[in-house]
Amino acid sequence: MKKKDVVLIIPPNDAEAILIKEIAVHLGISIIESSQLHGASLDVGHDYVKQVLDSGYKHAVVIEMPGPKSEALLRRAGVEVVIIDHHHYTGLARAHDEKGELLPSSLEQFLKLFKVTDAQLKKMGLNPHLVRGIGIQDRGYVWSLFDEGYSKREVRQVLAYMDKLTAHLRNPDTEERKQRLAQKAWTRRKKWREFWIVTTRADVQLRPRLSRIIVDEVGKPTPLIIVEHGRGLIYVQESPYALHLFERFGGFTFGLDRNWGHKNMPGQKCVTLRDVKRAIETVHRSVLSSAT
């Protein structure tokens, strides 16, 4: 692909995507930036197809913005669509390659696609170890960093770099309150089977803050069921049930297929904590039955 013929379509809504965008700018790749948050889609919010065609691009590299309708339209118009993703979505599986192997993180795929070397990253003023660390942690959080040989000090450096990349996405006037709410929710946690159940009715993004608390206070992968009532989200983390829950309820997967989430939308059947517990119990009984 000649860079002048390539456009990157990306929603810079987390550390990984922000870093991909930054590297793409250094490489001289054109960018169509989406302001959508997590759950972004090529089929929503903007006519990406028209913008790509009007600009004459021959290759569209799409970062974690599944949109089958728009993808099909681009391909029919003769544009090569390169999908970079590593998640399952309702009705759309994009976490595995054609051999059924788990895909690496989107940052890792991007670096490989454009053959970005450590020497190039250094020339951009970036630390290759931290850059690759952002990709690894997006793939499997800090546990994958430890698995890849990162020390505790290096893991803290990666997390600090992640915070630096996403600082502009957080409101410093409200962040302290959100951290306090997350800690309060964690303190009120309840045990069910191997899971800690953590819930909040506050309109706060609980999951990433809880993950940091787990790193600091537990220090190992910890099964969680997280219910964010205010945001209509429910998650199950660090669990072998993630794909079963995805098959049962839809939603999305992340973190090496060991994490599942679902956003309850108006007008659709609500997935509740009780539903998730029942589904886990069903799978558990089925496994026990097949083992006897």
**pLDDT, tens digit, 9 for 90 and up, residues 143-184:** 999 999 999 999 999 999 999 999 998 888 888 899 999 999
Same domain, 32 and 94: yes
Q: Same domain for 203 and 109?
A: no
Q: In this predicted model, which residue has the larger pLDDT, 275 or 3?
A: 275
Is residue 54 domain-shared with residue 112, that is, in the same domain?
Answer: yes
287 pLDDT exceeds 80? no
| Residue 19 in domain | yes
**Alpha-carbon 254 to chain mean position:** 6
**How many distinct helices (H) and strands (E) make up the chain?**
11, 12
Per-residue pLDDT averaged across 226-234, rounded?
95
Confidence (pLDDT) at 46: 92
| Residue 132, in any domain of the structure | no
Residue 169 neighbours by CB under 8 Å, 6+ apart? 13, 14
More confident residue, 289 or 194: 194
289 pLDDT more than 70: no
Q: Residue 185 falls within a domain, yes or no?
A: yes
Residue 145 lies in a domain: no
CATH at residue 25 = 3.40.50
Instruction: Tell whether 168 is covered by a domain.
Output: no
Q: Distance between CA atoms of 214 and 224, rounded to whole angstroms?
A: 10
Domain boundary among 126, 145, 166: 126
Range of the domain at 201: 175-291
The mean per-residue pLDDT over the stretch 60-68 comes to 97
- Residue 65 domain-assigned? yes
pLDDT on residue 169: 87
**290 — pLDDT class (breaks 50, 70, 90):** low
Q: Which of 25-29, 113-117, 231-235, 255-259 has the least mean pLDDT?
A: 255-259
pLDDT of 291: 55
Judge whether 37 lies within some domain. yes
For residues 194 and 275, membership in a common domain is answered with yes
- Same domain for 119 and 215: no
Distance CA 220, CA 202 (A): 27
Residues 76 and 183 in one domain: no
Residue 264: pLDDT band with limits 50, 70, 90: very high
257: CATH = 3.10.310
Whether 7 and 122 map to the same domain: the answer is yes
- Average pLDDT across the chain, whole number: 94
State whether 83 and 184 are in the same domain. no
Pair of tokens at residue 154 = 């290096």
Instruction: Examine the pLDDT at 288 and tell me if it is beyond 70.
Output: no
Looking at 91, 107, 126, the residue that finishes a domain is 126
Global pTM exceeds 0.85:
yes
Residue pointed to by tokens 């309840």:
190
Domain end among 126, 151, 166 = 126
118 and 195 housed in the same domain: no
Same domain (yes/no): 107, 185: no
Asked whether residue 118 falls in the same domain as residue 8, the answer is: yes
Q: How far apart are CA 14 and CA 259, in angstroms?
A: 17
Total domains present in the chain: 2
The pLDDT score that the predictor gives to residue 256 is 85
Q: Which two tokens stand for residue 31?
A: 């960018």
- The share of the chain scoring above pLDDT 70, in percent, equals 98
Please report which confidence band the pLDDT of residue 67 belongs to, taking 50, 70 and 90 as the band edges. very high
| Domain presence at residue 89 | yes
The predicted-structure confidence for 35-48, as pLDDT tens digits, reads as follows 998 889 999 989 99
- Give the type of residue at 36: Q
Query: Sign of torsion, CA 110 116 117 119?
Result: negative
